[in-house]
Structure 1
């Protein structure tokens, strides 16, 4: 289910995690909150059809804030798949507009698409010198170069430290502000020159010195953690009972946020200590982590070998158990 446009990760794991919820539903609804090249959408449609060939029709809604991704998806998916230009921050509004009270399965792949990384003009990668953009939705918001045009050293240091977990944040921020680069190539060179020798040695030859800086700026430009927080707050409550939410993360910041939110969802509210309540009468959690997903699902060796970008991916899953 991959293409030159985008190679989705953890496709088998996603299907195994979400299909059980879909086959149990009387009127299944699947929402792909990050359509990309439609790889996950097509795979889930095929898995459902194989598991329940005579079952009710699966309604599929796929959204993405990148119009280029939707244009690609439109060429691949069946005509009845509903494609929506929207960030998953607005998932409740998208579902309301579609007349969907609750979905059976929701998937969000938080990674940058292969197309975004490989298209130099999008400004996500330091592999080619291009305008420093980094917006997942180029039709709105501030580009990375606009952000750097008047940012202070202190604010940039915070961004690099908080979103890139960059040890040399202060010295790199100082160097960037002195130059205020407008292209990916210049930014990469400035960061490499500014990084301390111990940090360069720690990264080794396999990781470019600018990797964490590019990650931090991309997260800030697209408000990725704010988007994720909105999704984690809204999506679980838009699941049917028995429905499942899957989140694919790629770095520690988003994985930690997802893990903490799922952990909070699966804890039942406890009564005051000392009350004489039988164990069977204690409040039950409204959400559970399905068996086998306590630690999440990671790609196998074969997938990592075929697609090195999948290396850091992890799928976490939560299921709605009670209304």
Structure 2
């Protein structure tokens, strides 16, 4: 007696030919499979996660070394060499894994791991601010059209016309002292970063608003906020995710540049950009002072960019590799 439909297994014969069971996958599952096959993207993700864990566990890592980023060790400096660290490689030892900072003798390993916390906090928060504002503006402009679309478009043009770095420097200099510097940097960097996200989202929304499912939602009486949240946002999530992964390293680099120009996070808070700025004049005497924070910044930015490229390729439906 032939087996019934309930008795068939994926490897049994269907008709005259064996046929394996076809497993359906969602677009997100396909993207995840593509991303897992991209070794460069996985390497970038591992580095990003590693530095994220370093930023979270900075106090623990510094405690394991037995140091902190605020204690001065002037006994480890050589007055004859203009208070450069004693010993080879900037004073690297079992007590100071990355050596010590010239002039102050602060532990460089603690400065680097605590600096990761500063860079990640400001970079990720500023990118999130830009994405939130840009996504909201793009959704409203694309769905509303008419005067609202024109107004938001002109605002984007005005923000684009500002020389962003110059205005960031000016705003951070004239800001009142009672405003926390991290909050100021996040707000300023986020403000100058949102128009690009807004334009990308607006362009995607304009290609969707005339689709049948949007007309059906309007016919059923859906309010604009519901259409944006339930119909449009899921369909523009892919470019938002891709752009976010590209925007975060840009924000981290911008924060480092502002600190390099002495308008970022003030001392003694550890910061990669300020360490790189201070290390420039010591590059011949103590090159390790530049290599450690500069190398950390380089690795994080490179890892984010590689991961962003991998996510972009994985989410591209035109790529049929699996």
Structure with the bigger percentage of strand: 1
TM-score by length of 1: 0.26
Computing the radius of gyration over CA atoms, which structure comes out larger, 1 or 2?
Answer: 2
Higher helix proportion: 2
Higher relative contact order (CA 8 A, sep 6+): 2
For normalisation by structure 2, the TM-score amounts to: 0.26
